[in-house]
Structure 1
Amino acid sequence: MSGFLAVLVVVLIFIVIFQIAKASEYVSILKGEKKSRQQSNRINGFLLIAFLVLGLVGVYYCNDILKGKILGDSASEQGEGIDTLIYVTLAITGIVFVITQILLFWFAYKYQEREGQKAFYFPHNNKLEVIWTVIPAIALTILVAFGLKHWFQITSEAPKDAAIVEITGKQFNWMIRYAGKDGLLGRKDFKKIDAAGSNPLGQDWEDQLNKDDIMSSEMHLVVNKPVKLIIGSQDVIHDVGLPHFRLKMDAVPGIPTTLWFTPKYTTKQMKEKTGNPDFVYEISCDQMCGSGHYSMRAVIVVETQEEFDAWAAKQKSQYDLAHATAAPAAPAADSTQKAVAANK
């Protein structure tokens, strides 16, 4: 209801402005072009000041009601630094935005066309050019440097005790593979991809490392334990978006990418922190990838080591699943042969 009222108010404001503009046209016909233009300038100047005040109040109000309520605090240790960088960037750009907008609208009001007032004109000023070029360049260079610092951190070599999880994008779902007890993922070959034969990633069954790898539609992670993601795609470019952890990385066909992070809160803890019993960590696709892009979503479950071990113990390796589908065929043939032999 409040949203409908807000839209209604905006529509009414536009109607009022439109009617004022129409009235100005009629006045111009009666009073002449010059007087009409000056009167229009006065009206526009007043509207600009009103827009400035209402706009700044609106920005402050939106920030006040939405701050920290969309995603909350970062759920990863690496995301804390990224949040800080975002706040610093918003503070710097916010100050510049407020100052420049106030000057822009105030100057438009103060220096509008008036009788006996002539505009001062100067084509060039070296000092001003240097100021508004050098200062922004320095500020942006510093921000980029800190951004690269965080980028190099999450894309650097993961800690030795980090869990290994592979995530592969395909229109329009995510396929997630875990290294088994050996801690290593088996070899893949795109020529061996066989979704019907329980081998959607094209795992090479002759590689012994594949024997204990498991797959899941959910990503299970251990709280306070580093995890290294190996990211890929089978068709078009996708993007692994981890908004609660403040991370994202492109999934590029034929070019594996990696990142690592450390989850801070379990899913249960986040449900308590947010007061939302239905809270889940999400994996989104942050790159337009086709008509089903909107549905390309997966869930991350962050849990304790004991809970993860219990979950992993219930999973069958993809090798066992792939070979179990072919196993029943042999007994069926044997029973048929036995029946023929018995009839003879």
Structure 2
Amino acid sequence: MSFIFVIAVIVFVFLIIFQIAKASEYVAVLKGDDRARKENNKINGFFMIAFLIAGLIGVYWCNEILVDKTLLVQESASVQGEKVDEMLWVTLIITGIVFVLTQIVLFWFAYRYQESDKRKSFFFPHNNTMEIVWTVVPAIALTVLVVIGLRNWFSFTGDAPKNAMEVEVTGKQFGWIFRYKGDDGVFGKKYFRMIDPATNSLGLNWHDSTGINVKDDPSTHDDIVTEQTMYVVKNKPVKLIIGSRDVVHDVGLPQFRLKMDAVPGTPTTLWFTPKYTTKEMKQKTGNPDFQYEISCDQMCGNGHYSMKGVIEVVSQAEYDEWMAKQKPAFYAAFPEQDPSNIKPATTPADSTKAAAAKVSTVIPEKKG
């Protein structure tokens, strides 16, 4: 209902403007084109100042009512994201000052130097000094911003600290798959032709169960694979090894202020250090339902809007406890090889003891 009302208001405003324009044409015919043009210039000059004031008030008002819906009110949840916030604020301040000054000058000039019989136009076709100033100054400012951005970018995508944990992130239509190293501390090999959405979502090189001649890689047998929720540790660097199973996706980490493309066949990397656990962020934001989000920031199909995952930032103890409960994906595909499902074989010695115990319960004791 409110949408229909807004449309009706817009149509009504356009009708009013149309009628005013038609009335101006009729007045011009009655008064003469020259006189009507001068009066229109005065009206337009007044509207320029009115639009300037209303526009600046509108920008300020929109900021006041909408800023709480943005991430600007929340500090970065990662150490690396602090650099991104610094770049953002510097950019906003510089561009904001330029925006306000240029708009004031633009509208003021339109009002101040409107057509007048008492003033002649002064043609100013060329000025080397002014052209150098308005070319060099923006170029220097933009170069500084670009250099700062590249420095931070190379830091985030460069070599992670040696103590960083590694998580493999794979995008698919329309969700996320996460892989962790097992006890051997190595990611096993994978092959896209081995992918089975039901039992082998990443195509890990297990013994050939699909008719494809691929050598079994024992390093894959202890890899942990989960979907939609990724666990990382507070104050511990985490390196993401990012890829895609189908089309181009993009790992978006808004609370951490980072993102990276997920490209099929071309692994990309990104690393960051979480500052707060999920529980701490719930307290800081006052939102008991707060969750760190991993979103797809690249249009990837009809279900793009639903491609959202969760990042749980926990303490080291909580992470170890969670990891201890996980089973390698290999055992989910081949439960018969899961040690917990294999019953220990009975040895001959155990069989003899069991038979003797059975006989002793059957033969009655002799009475004297």
Q: TM-score range by the shorter chain?
A: 0.7 to 0.9
Q: Report Cα offsets for 1:47-96 as digits up to 9, x if no partner.
A: 12111111111222233344465221111000011101100011011111
Whole-Å Cα distance in 1 between the matches of residues 327 and 297 of structure 2? 31
Letter in structure 2 aligned against 1:230 = I
Alpha-carbon distance in structure 2 between the residues aligned to 1:11 and 1:87: 39
Is 1:216 the counterpart of 2:217? The answer is: no
In structure 1, distance between residues paired with 2:181 and 2:36: 77
Name the aligned partner's letter for residue 147 of structure 1.
Answer: G
Q: Are the aligned partners of 2:168 and 2:178 in contact in 1 as well (CA < 8 Å)?
A: yes
Offset at residue 181 of structure 1 (A):
2.8
In the alignment, which residue of structure 2 is the partner of 1:201?
202
> Aligned runs of 1:148-187 on 2, under 5 Å?
148-187=150-189
Alpha carbons of structure 1 residues 111 and 70: separation in structure 2 relative to 1, 3 Å: same
Classify the secondary structure of the residue corresponding to 2:239. Answer: strand
Secondary structure of 2:50 counterpart: helix
Q: For the residues of structure 2 that align with 1:210 and 1:267, how far apart are their CA atoms?
A: 30
- Residues 242 and 11 (structure 1), Cα distance of their counterparts in 2 relative to 1, 3 Å cut: farther
Name the counterpart of 2:28.
Answer: 28
Note closer, same or farther for the CA distance 1:8–1:223 as it changes in structure 2 (3 Å cut).
farther
Shift of 1:11: 7.4
Q: CA deviation at 1:2?
A: 11
Identity %: 62
> Helix, strand or coil for the counterpart of 1:195?
coil
**In structure 2, what is the Cα distance between the partners aligned to 1:116 and 1:20?**
29
- What SS class does the counterpart of residue 212 from structure 1 fall into? coil
- 1:1-344, aligned counterparts within 5 Å? 17-67=17-67, 69-71=69-71, 72-196=74-198, 198-205=199-206, 206-217=216-227, 218-324=229-335
Show CA shifts across 1:183-234 (max 9, x none).
32111111211123x1111111222221221111211111111100000112
Number of residue-to-residue matches in the alignment: 326
List per-residue Cα deviations over 1:1-41 (Å, max 9, x = no partner): 99999999877766655554343233222212222222222
Name the CA distance, whole Å, in 2 between partners of 1:83 and 1:264: 15
In 2: Cα distance, 1:139 partner to 1:172 partner: 40
1:261-311 C-alpha deviation (Å, 9 max, x unpaired): 001111111111111111111111111111111111111111111111121
Where 1:299 maps in the other structure, the secondary structure is strand
TM-score normalised per structure 1: 0.88
Distance of aligned partners of 1:262 and 1:151 in 2 relative to their CA distance in 1, 3 Å threshold: same
8 A contact 2:190–2:203 mirrored in 1: yes
Of 83-92 and 301-310, deviating more is 301-310
One-letter amino acid matched to 2:23: A
Q: Distance in 1 between matches of 2:280 and 2:182?
A: 27
Range moving further from structure 2, 294-303 or 65-74: 65-74
Query: One-letter code of the match for 1:200?
Result: S
| CA shift for structure 1 position 316 | 1.3
Provide TM-score, normalisation by structure 2: 0.82
Q: Specify the structure having the higher radius of gyration (Cα).
A: 2
Does structure 1 retain, via aligned residues, the 8 Å contact 2:331–2:337? no
Equivalent position amino acid for 1:103 in 2: V
The amino acid across from 2:202 in the alignment is: L
